[in-house]
Homo-oligomer: A and B are copies of this chain.
Amino acid sequence: MKEQDAYIKLIEKGVHPSAQRLAIMQYLMSHFTHPTVDEVFQDLTKKIPTLSRTTVYNTLRLFSEHNAAQMITIDDHHVCYDGNTNPHAHFYCKSCGKVVDMHEEEVPYLSKPKMMNGKIVDEIQVYYKGICNDCMSREKNK
């Protein structure tokens, strides 16, 4: 049950579960496309016509502050979100702009904050960048 999962996640992360927040969390938990703020807004506004972009911005920020979602900043023009907060690497295609998971590649696991060289590390992000399968075949067919 996606609805319950979203509810549980918000509670676990200490985020008060309003209707909008539940909808946004549900969206993140059922779309693994790493949506941008605007994609979330465009899709959800169909179901919740009163939803505002501001709320989506505020909510996603709130989620990432509470570690209920991950903000992914590939570069200054491509910010998106991932509802999966388990550590995993991301791949960014420089040609089509898609962001996909790279579960195959290892990311050091942090179940809790860890001391590293005198610093407390509580988050690790790994980005691979290049050209994806699809763009490569498209390239060849030219």
A→B interface (CB under 8 Å): 71, 73-76, 79, 91, 93, 102, 104-105, 113, 116-133, 136
Contacts and interface: CB of A to CB of B under 8 A. Distances in A.
Nearest to A100: B119
B76 A75 contact: no
Given A75-B71, A125-B126, A127-B124, A119 B132 contact: yes
B128 A121 contact: yes
Q: Determine how many copies of this chain the complex contains.
A: 2
Q: Is the interface of A mostly helix, strand, loop or mixed?
A: strand
A120 B130 contact: yes
Contacts of A120: 130-131, 136
Contacts of A102: 116-117
A77 to B, nearest CB: 9
Nearest to A108: B105
Nearest to A71: B75
A54 to B, nearest CB: 16
B130 A125 contact: no
Contacts of A117: 102, 104
